[in-house]
Amino acid sequence: MVKTKRIKSGTPALDFKKLKLRGSPNEYLVAPDDLCKNAVPHLPADVYDVPADELRDAIMHVVAHQSRVELDGMDEEARAFEFVHYSAVLNFKDMISVRVLPVGHKQSTIAIYSRSKTGYYDFGVNKARVESWLEELEGEIIR
């Protein structure tokens, strides 16, 4: 479950438009093709047939069921959230940024950027996390 800790007021959400990938194998980005001006997503984001607020609620439900994940910051108006995942053994931190974007009134899409704070290789952990969250998100939307 997502442990909520005291959120620092003004904790900035990641600005995906300004994001520059580090080029290391320990990061993974899914985003709409036109969102990131300085980065090419590893995978283009799907468009979902639900309004943005419904997609936001669905991804928050997905994240709430993840172990060792805490909400670290948010911009509720922008539907942008920052999470920290702590590894089971050495307590390494991975950062996950999520932003839900409207596509008209009845559709929406999502951007997710997961990256390790320590090390260079992650053995595919960030990619696997993002793909798992997206698969679970599909299940949430179908319900």
Q: What is the pTM of this model?
A: 0.90
Q: What are the sequence ranges of the domains in the chain?
A: 2-7+24-142
Residue 45 has pLDDT above 70, yes or no: yes
Residue 124 has pLDDT above 90, yes or no: no
**3-class secondary structure for the chain?**
CEEECCCCCCCCCCCHHHCCCCCCCCEEEEECCCCCCCCCCCEECCEECCCHHHHHHHHHHHHHCCCCEEEEEEEHHHCEEEEEEECCCCCCEEEEEEEEEEECCCEEEEEEEEEECCCCCCCCHHHHHHHHHHHHHHHHHHC
Domain 2-7+24-142 in this protein, CATH class: alpha beta
